[in-house]
Amino acid sequence: MKRNLSLEKKNVKAAKTKWPDKQIARFIPLLRELTSTHRLSVAAGDIILLNGGWYVTHSGLLRLARRSRCTGIHVQPTLAFCDPCEKRWAFEATVYKSRGCRGFVGFGDADPSNVSSLVHGAEMRVAETRAVNRALRKAYGIGICSVEEIGSLVETPQASGESKKLPSQPANGNYGGPKVRDRLCQIIRQHQLDPNLVKSYATDFCGVQALRAAKREQVEAFVVHLADWAQKDRNALPCQLNSYLPTERGAA
């Protein structure tokens, strides 16, 4: 308890120094809660403030797994969804919290359309990192995105020439506003996709536990990504969606 209180004080001080904004005060309560629950350190780079929210970094997730004595992480490419020529990669990661754990599974994909221009050429590494991050978040109940997963998504609509100016996200679950929702429904109908599987894929893509928690920029980026994939490789898309069919592997 004393150690957590000490870390909490250090985190608050580091946060106020690193983000010297008058608005920082409203983010402090959640920072205290995250410190108490997961012992994340601002100074060590475990957690950062990004776009009005706290996000756990890749190194923060790995340190959490180490403190929790994670027994192993197995990562492998999902070859059916990999296309080196198109720089499209997909990975599956499984986190084992203990020797008797059946594993927590996470999937990650990356291609030039859904990563920042700063990491073009490193799509394979990005996909692998996303898969590991998502598996770790499932294993340890981290309900906040990892920055490596969502940091570049807001750039995708700009790159495609589409506007980011959408209506404010309502509280009734109309994700991203009516224009984005209607576009998503159109893609689902046009390509005869399972809406429940699309929703599961969107939740994973946005790195949130519930789709209503996603930012509208994230949902817009997902719609752009889904439309692009459906147009370029319609046969592979259902296979990706089928990976979100309910299984028993996600339970420890």
DSSP string, 213-236: GS-HHHHHHHHHHHHHHHHH-TTH
Summarised one tens digit per residue, pLDDT across range 179-198 is 677 778 778 877 878 888 88
Most confident of 69-78, 136-145, 157-166: 69-78
Average pLDDT, the chain: 78
Q: Would the pLDDT of 38 be above 80?
A: yes
pLDDT band at 55 (very low <50, low <70, confident <90, very high): confident
The reported pLDDT for the residue numbered 69 is 94
pLDDT band at 146 (very low <50, low <70, confident <90, very high): low
pLDDT band at 3 (very low <50, low <70, confident <90, very high): low
| 158-to-24, 31, 64, 185 alpha-carbon distances in Å | 28, 31, 35, 22
The reported pLDDT for the residue numbered 240 is 79
Separation CA 126–CA 141 (nearest Å): 22
The reported pLDDT for the residue numbered 159 is 34
pTM over 0.75: no
Strand order in the sheet with 89-96: 72-77, 89-96, 104-110
Summarised one tens digit per residue, pLDDT across range 114-125 is 888 888 899 999
Separation CA 14–CA 32 (nearest Å): 12
Q: At what angle do helices 178-190 and 216-232 cross, to 10 degrees?
A: 20
Summarised one tens digit per residue, pLDDT across range 63-107 is 999 999 999 999 999 998 899 999 999 999 999 999 999 999 988
Q: Would the pLDDT of 165 be above 80?
A: no
